[in-house]
Amino acid sequence: MTLNERREQVRSFLGKIVEIEIDRPIGYVHEKNGNRWQYPINYGYIPNVIGGDGEELDVYLLGVGEPVTRFRCRVIGAVLRDDDDEDKLIAAPDGMFFTASEIEQSVRFQEQYHVSHIVTI
């Protein structure tokens, strides 16, 4: 998938209601490349939608303060990575919105390791 195709795919979800699977709920501890972090938010993917990395398209879920396994939500933004082939969607319960600054703070635990920027609806 080219950069343009990847960005077009991510932007096509902005504003849409999606059903996501959560594989890293709040409190999940992840270790990768010598880094270790605990997820302060729910993190998952849209089943059967393949992202730029060849795996299912990832989604940060904001506004839900407890661990969940599935959630129906609205895509309110995206994290576009300039140094990786994997962009991420940002979702929240329908009717709930966050500023780009609030989103940036919420996903910093993971995005601090990447060159990325936030787009919102």
Per-residue pLDDT reduced to its tens digit, 58-79: 999 999 999 999 999 999 999 9
Average pLDDT for 78-107: 93
| C-alpha 21, offset from chain centre | 12
Residue 33, pLDDT above cutoff 90: no
Cβ atoms of 23 and 74 closer than 8 Å: no
Angle at 118 between CA 115 and CA 119, to 5 degrees: 140
Supply 9's token pair: 């795919």
Per-residue pLDDT reduced to its tens digit, 90-100: 999 999 999 98
Q: In 3D, which of 102, 99, 39, 30 has the Cα closest to residue 66?
A: 39
What is the phi/psi pair of residue 8, to 5°? -65, -40
| 77/82: higher pLDDT | 77
The pLDDT value given to residue 113? 84
Average pLDDT for 46-55: 92
Domains and CATH numbers, the chain: 3-120 (3.90.80.10)
